[in-house]
Amino acid sequence: MKNLLKGFIIGIGKIIPGVSGAMLAITMGVYDKSIYYINNFKSNKKESVRYLLPLAIGIILSILIFSRIITYTLENYYLPTKLFFIGLIIGGIPSIINKTDKKSHSITVVSFLLFFSLSMLSINNTYLVKDNIQDIIIFFISGIIEAIGTVVPGVSSTALLMIIEFEKIFNDNKIDAVIHFAGYKAVGESVKKPLMYYRNNIDSTLTLCEVMNEHNVKNIVFSSSATVYGTPKSLPIKENFDVTHATNPYGETKIMIERILNDLYVSDNTWNIALLRYFNPIGAHKSGLIGENPNDIPNNLMPYIVKVANKELKELSVFGNDYDTIDGTGVRDYIHVVDLAKGHIKALNWVLNNNGIDAFNLGTGNGYSVLELVEAFKKFNNIDVPYKIVGRRDGDIASCYADASKAKDILDWSCTYNIEDMVKDSYNYVKNSK
């Protein structure tokens, strides 16, 4: 029960900075006193009733009023601050009139109301400028859901929150198809944090498919990955290669999601599903307005190279130079993000006009080593990129590049950008975003 209360407080703390500690102290104090009177009810019925009855009435009124506020907000997208005040005051009246330890109890309640009111004023100034107040409510509800997760094993707070958000999107829009990009995607990080990857990537897909099914939206393009092929038996990689074992948890999540989508189609062949197994996207839009520039230390090669070139990081770590490749460093099929985006549009047209499920490689068909990519970046951007050779990274393979002829034949898609475009556009975005 304490975990449940604590989770509820965390939810309030998420939307009201500073209130969590005060509420925790107050709530835990009331909780401990309530347990005392419950345990001693038989020996001290009169005093126990005088304490517990008003408290119970206050809790019930507060729950009813808060429920009404949440319902009103979800229906009208507006949170009337005064309604919060009224709810707090009404919910506090039964406790204020309590005769037991009246002085200290009243001080506690009044202090809480004052603190909460000031916090609400802060919300009014800070959050109500948002177009959609529902974000605040979702944060509030998330605390309650997290609490449920602490006391009910197996309950996923992430999945429950996604249901709320997905339902809102599908209710408010006419959706014909979904492109599912979302997921954690760093190979090295997935080896260190496998549970985080399995929970996030698979839970989100299951929740999305359930909501899509409920709303009869049965067209989906899934962004899979070349990592599903594991260590390929030969090169270039074709779609009919075995997809049974990846070399890292990130790749395993992609394999599992592909299986889920295959099973979904087998159970209901009105679904139309494209599995895009793309290789290594890099680059940015030529305008320099859209690109990738992580705030933290990047997990992927090109953003790291750019930050080293930009002197935000000292040097690039090249993981291994003893692979069976042209220079000992890993070889990958780098694809420009604009080509990749066009591939998704082609796949979207395919699922909207065809029935079935199929997988497509999206790549250039050409492999470049890490050092070749670094040298291309230095050459075409006329800038130095210091690097050092370190040990191999867990989960990596030697070489990986695509046979993308199936995508050309069926989707009418092929790459138009080369390695020079990729390295120039990557650096151009970061220079323009300074």
Catalytic residue among 37, 197, 229, 250: 250
Residues 3/150, Cβ–Cβ less than 8 Å: yes
- Amino acid making up residue 298: P
Euclidean distance between CA atoms 242 and 230, whole angstroms: 9
69 neighbors 87 (Cβ within 8 angstroms): yes
Crossing angle of the two packed helices 2-15 and 134-151, in degrees rounded to 10: 160
* Alpha carbon separation from 349 to 61, 177, 321, 353 (Å, rounded): 53, 10, 42, 6
CB 419 within 8 A of CB 373: yes
Q: Give burial (CB, 10 Å; 0-12/13-18/19+) of 330.
A: buried
- Mark whether 250 is an active-site residue: yes
Q: What are φ and ψ of residue 396, in 5° steps?
A: -85, 155
Q: Tokens representing 106?
A: 């009243």
- How many Å apart are CA 332 and CA 347, to the nearest integer? 23
Strands 280-282 and 368-369: unpaired
- Residues that are catalytic: 250
